Chain A
Amino acid sequence: MSRAITDKDILEAIHSGRDDRALEHLYKTLLPKITQMICSNSGGTEEANDIFQDAMLIFYRQVKEGKFDEQYEVSGFIYTICRNLWINRAKRKQRSTELTNKEFFIESDSDIELDILTEERSELVMGLLSKLGDRCKELLLCSIFYKYSMKEICQIMGFSTENAAKTRNYKCKQKLLKLIEENPSLKTILK
């Protein structure tokens, strides 16, 4: 019954949204390795945690959007993203002269940094969504982020009929579209 968590479990957990255990598993197994990698390359434990979280979100997004190639091992994939993120960050800090381990830093022209949720972006998103109300927020998360079917949404959120859920979903979406329209500057910042 209590067996090791497989990659398949992790991907399923992310798809279903019941991911607490999978996230904890990845945290426990991966963070020590990432901390070691970053600490032996001029970084600290807090930086390691930041990088780990950023990498997890990149991984999560790829899985959610069906872009994750399942032939890769999940832990290897996240580890490599962490390494690439750390390379970019270390370069930006222009600390390359102090690096202990020069060969470690391979050239990376990837634009994974673009996928990172910056603080500015996070705040705008949180601010925008908070104006929607809790129920709308949850409903849109269910329909757009978790991609649950209307039937599942009925169950989760207690709508009596699928039609009721659909109509409510439509109204919430309209509300969000209106909020975005009222803030034309958002589009340029969040682009």
Chain B
Amino acid sequence: MTRSEVAKHALVDDYLAGKLNTSEAAEFEQQMHTDSSFAELVEMHKFANGVVKDYGLLQVKMKLQKIHLKHEAKPAKSWAKAAAVTASVAAISISAFLLMDSEKEYVKDVPLEVAAMQSQLLTHPKQYSSTTAKASFTATKAEKASEKAAEDPSKSQVASPKRDAQAVSVEPSASAKSTSVPTEPTPDLAAASAIAPQSVAPKAVLAASSAPAESPAAAAKPSPIATPPPADNQPKADVAPQPEADRCAEVRLSVSIQPEILTPSCEDQRNGEIQLTNEQVFGGEAPYEFSLDGGQHFQTDTRFVALEGNRDYELVIRDVNGCTSDVERIYLDTRNCVASFNPIMGEQWEIPLPRNANGTFKVMSQKGMVYQARVTAGYPNTWNGNTVSGTATTGEYVWEFVFDNGRQPLRGRVSVIR
């Protein structure tokens, strides 16, 4: 790699990104005309950039699918539908996973990993002693969830009967949002169905479609009139000029809390985590600072560790100009880090993963890895005791979950009793 090579490629990148000025661009294009190998290089870069851009769009699509899943996951809705969407997300991730030829190395590494994990676990014997006799993990979890549902309305004023207990606990921000965003799906749908019987909506659509019909190019470039029926006029009227002094009034700083950023704490311990990213912050100006105690103490690190479970945290974000966000309540759950179940009785163990987690779940016995599964968007979230050599026999197993995004892996033990 010579310096001129790097510079040449950087120039191509700048040209394709539109960063060259007119005369530089003209000179660049001249060179493409006279030097066919250079033109070919530019073509290759353009193609490669196209691939990366498509990849970026696929990330956006994944986000949309996640949003869809989140909203679809209302109790009464059919499971099959949600599963179908998950499956399509999974299909993409799995195909990607299969292409990484990391499996060989991975198997080779296992014995060492087991040793390391077991020694780590043995250093905290207290943590694992008491709970082995507990009933099936799934059952305790369900009880806890219903308790929580009963508590929550009073605690954080999130009284939304339509959401299941889990959704309430993970997204305490939901009530705050529904007051601020004028078009929540439910009232919107209600409005839409109220219009439909009088067939007003189709007419409005026709009115909209007649405009693009006049010019053929308008198909891809719709006319501004083509606003959907219940038009949302509010935003534009809202932008009124503000006095300079009141600059934070213009700043709408907020954060979108995805369940997967929360790692519940093990019961009776303080090892929960909240991993924020700058990407989740919306509005204001980077760099940001974060506080979990309602704005008393701020830190620049996006990761909060050693957190107590089963309580609320008050997240506040501050941007570089000192503007702060509203308080966002985050409920951090606890998880059962030790569990036992009986696969012969058809019991399953619910793996205590953060919701929507992506990564690899592994179970190891003294002899090495006995089970491994890909987890995509939080599924599968159970282990039924199946291993590479039949149903797991009675004993203690060590499990590990390695996140795709490089987060600290989760580890614990699970006992099989049969």
Question: How many Å lie between the Cα of A47 and that of B219 in the bound state?
Answer: 21
- On chain B, the residues within 8 Å of A144 by CB distance are 13, 17, 49, 52-53, 56
Q: Contact mask B8-48 → A, CB, 8 Å, 1/0?
A: 01100100011000000000000000000000000011011
Which residue of A27, A66, A130, A140 contacts B97 across the interface (Cβ within 8 Å)? A130
Q: Is the CB of A56 within 8 A of B60?
A: yes
- On chain A, the residues within 8 Å of B216 by CB distance are 109
Q: Is the CB of B67 within 8 A of A123?
A: no
Q: Is the CB of B201 within 8 A of A187?
A: no
Q: Is the CB of B181 within 8 A of A126?
A: no
Interface status of B115 (Cβ within 8 A of chain A): no
Interface of chain A, helix or strand or loop or mixed?
helix
A110-B220, A130-B96 known; A117+B61 contact, CB < 8 A: yes
**A interface with B by C-beta (< 8 Å):** 1-9, 13, 17-25, 27-34, 36-37, 40, 46, 49, 52-53, 56-57, 60-61, 64, 66, 69, 71-73, 75-77, 79-81, 83-84, 101, 103-104, 106-112, 117, 121-123, 125-131, 134, 137, 140-141, 143-147, 155-156, 166-167, 170-171, 173-174, 176-177, 180-181, 187, 190
Q: Is the CB of A49 within 8 A of B222?
A: no
Interface residues on B, range: 35 or more
Point out which of B176, B226, B287 has the most chain A C-beta atoms below 10 A from its C-beta: B226
Known: A1-B252, A3-B252, A76-B224. 20 other contacts (CB 8 A): A4-B182, A23-B64, A32-B188, A32-B192, A46-B84, A76-B223, A81-B222, A84-B219, A104-B205, A128-B51, A130-B99, A131-B100, A134-B406, A137-B55, A144-B52, A155-B287, A170-B10, A173-B13, A174-B9, A181-B44
Question: How many Å lie between the Cα of A174 and that of B44 in the bound state?
Answer: 10
What are 22 pairs between A and B in contact, CB < 8 Å?
A2-B254, A3-B252, A13-B282, A18-B282, A27-B64, A32-B189, A40-B201, A57-B57, A64-B56, A76-B208, A76-B227, A80-B222, A109-B216, A121-B54, A122-B61, A130-B97, A134-B404, A144-B56, A166-B10, A170-B6, A170-B9, A180-B51
Within 8 A of A (CB), among B229-256: 229-230, 232, 234-236, 238-239, 252-254, 256
- On chain B, the residues within 8 Å of A125 by CB distance are 51, 54-55, 58
A29-B183, A145-B55 known; A79+B226 contact, CB < 8 A: yes
Interface status of B179 (Cβ within 8 A of chain A): yes
Interface status of B117 (Cβ within 8 A of chain A): no
Chain A nearest Cβ from B344, distance in angstroms: 39
Question: How many Å lie between the Cα of A176 and that of B228 in the bound state?
Answer: 42
Point out which of B50, B67, B406 has the most chain A C-beta atoms below 10 A from its C-beta: B67
Interface status of B107 (Cβ within 8 A of chain A): no
Question: How many Å lie between the Cα of A37 and that of B221 in the bound state?
Answer: 19
- On chain A, the residues within 8 Å of B1 by CB distance are 170-171
A4-B182, A75-B232 known; A20+B202 contact, CB < 8 A: no
Chain B nearest Cβ from A47, distance in angstroms: 13
Which 10 residue pairs are nearest across A and B when measured between Cβ atoms?
A145-B56, A80-B222, A2-B180, A110-B219, A6-B235, A76-B227, A20-B256, A130-B96, A144-B52, A21-B282
Interface status of B213 (Cβ within 8 A of chain A): yes
Interface status of B209 (Cβ within 8 A of chain A): yes
Q: Is the CB of B92 within 8 A of A77?
A: no
- On chain B, the residues within 8 Å of A111 by CB distance are 220
Question: How many Å lie between the Cα of A103 and that of B6 in the bound state?
Answer: 57
Q: Which of B131-139, B264-272, B273-281, B386-394 contacts A (4 or more CB under 8 A)?
A: B273-281
A19-B63, A60-B60, A141-B59 known; A6+B236 contact, CB < 8 A: yes
- On chain B, the residues within 8 Å of A167 by CB distance are 6
